Structure 1
Amino acid sequence: MSLKDNISMVKEELNSEEKFFEKAVMTEKFVKKYKNIMIASVVAIVLVVGANLAYSANENSKITAANVALLKLQKDSKNADALSELKMLSPNLYDVWIFSQAVANKDLELLKSLKNTDALILNDLVKYELATDAASLESYASKQDAIFKDLALVQSAVILLNENKIDEARNKLSMISKESSLNKLVAALMHYGIK
């Protein structure tokens, strides 16, 4: 190798090392400048992850305790301690338990106490169970999101049939869609019940 080649090779090596040191200095300046922000970000991420894990563990603990209380109530429905524990841990599950007991015992007063429950489906079921006459069944069925809309219309029509209000019963049955699972029952009522 010639001297010229050696000099150019040394220059290239020095340029490479110079660039490396230049990048190291820039990185060091960047780290010094944003050190507090980077540390705060890492701490914030650790805190958020830790809080999330703690919250999840707490929620799982509540769910487990609520399930234990529910199992106690299934064994002994008069257990007041388990009932109050269930109410404290899971108000919606408490409402479902009260609803099941009210329906099983046909307790209208207990059902009325659930009229304003926060559980959406349960709220609808309570309104359906409390609808006992044709007018209240029609009122329930007129709601857009009623779960048992068709069943309420059929029950209303049967009540009207028993009162010999055949035209009104026919109108109620005609409100039930053809795609309903109660369509065969409606057809039978229209054919045999309403002439």
Structure 2
Amino acid sequence: MSLQENIKMVKEELNSEEKFFEKAVMTERFIKKYKKLMIASVITVVVIVGANIAYTANKESKIEAANIAFFNLQADPNNSAALNELKELSPNLHDVWIYSQAIANKDFQTIKSLKNSKTLIVSDLVKYELAQDPASLENYASKQDVIYKDLALVQAAVMLIKENKINEAKNKLLKVSKESSLKNIVAALMHYGIE
């Protein structure tokens, strides 16, 4: 190698070292400038992750305690402490329990008291149970996303057949969904009950 090539190589090395130090200085300035923001961001992420873990643990603990209260009620339906604990921990499960007990005991007043339950399924089932005549069954079935829509229509049709209102019963049966599990009953009623 010649002297000139050595000098050129040394210059290139010095330039690359200079660039390296320049980048290091720029990085240091950046870190100094945004140090507080970076620390705050890391702390925020840690706090959010910690809060999420705590929330999840609390929620799981609450679910477990509600399940224990529910199992205690299954063992002893008259356990008022377990019932109150269930109401506090899981109002939806509480309403389901109250509804199931009211149905089992044929307690119409308790069923009525659940009419405005915030548990959608209980509220829907109570409205179905309270529908005792063809008009109220039709009213129930006319609402969107009700559970027993087809059953309410069939029940209303049966009541109308008993009252000898054949055309009205036929109209109710025609409203039953073709995919319904009650299609065989509807076909039988259309064949034997109406014609």
| Same fold, TM-score > 0.5, yes or no | yes
Map of 2:93 onto structure 1: 93
Map of 1:146 onto structure 2: 146
Structure 2 Cα separation of the partners of residues 136 and 102 of structure 1: 21
The Cα offsets for residues 162-183 of structure 1, whole Å up to 9 and x where unpaired, read as 1222221111111112222211
1:119, CA displacement in angstroms? 1.6
Structure 2 Cα separation of the partners of residues 176 and 92 of structure 1: 30
Instruction: In structure 1, list runs of 5 or more residues that go unmatched.
Output: none
Partner SS for 1:27 = helix
Partner SS for 2:178 = coil
**2:138 matched to 1:173?**
no
Q: Which amino acid aligns with 1:190?
A: M
Amino-acid identity (%): 70
- TM-score scaled by structure 2? 0.97
Structure 1 Cα separation of the partners of residues 177 and 88 of structure 2: 42
Structure 1 Cα separation of the partners of residues 10 and 58 of structure 2: 65
Structure 1 Cα separation of the partners of residues 47 and 178 of structure 2: 57
User: Matches of residues 39-58 of structure 1 in structure 2 within 5 Å?
Assistant: 39-58=39-58
- TM-score scaled by structure 1? 0.97
Q: Which amino acid aligns with 1:118?
A: K
Map of 1:164 onto structure 2: 164
The Cα offsets for residues 91-140 of structure 1, whole Å up to 9 and x where unpaired, read as 01101111111111111111111111112222211111211221111110
1:67, CA displacement in angstroms? 0.2
Aligned length: 195
Structure 1 Cα separation of the partners of residues 118 and 170 of structure 2: 36
User: Matches of residues 26-175 of structure 1 in structure 2 within 5 Å?
Assistant: 26-175=26-175
1:33, CA displacement in angstroms? 0.5
Question: Over aligned residues, Cα RMSD in angstroms?
Answer: 0.9
Structure 1 Cα separation of the partners of residues 166 and 174 of structure 2: 12
Partner SS for 1:152 = helix
Instruction: In structure 2, list runs of 5 or more residues that go unmatched.
Output: none
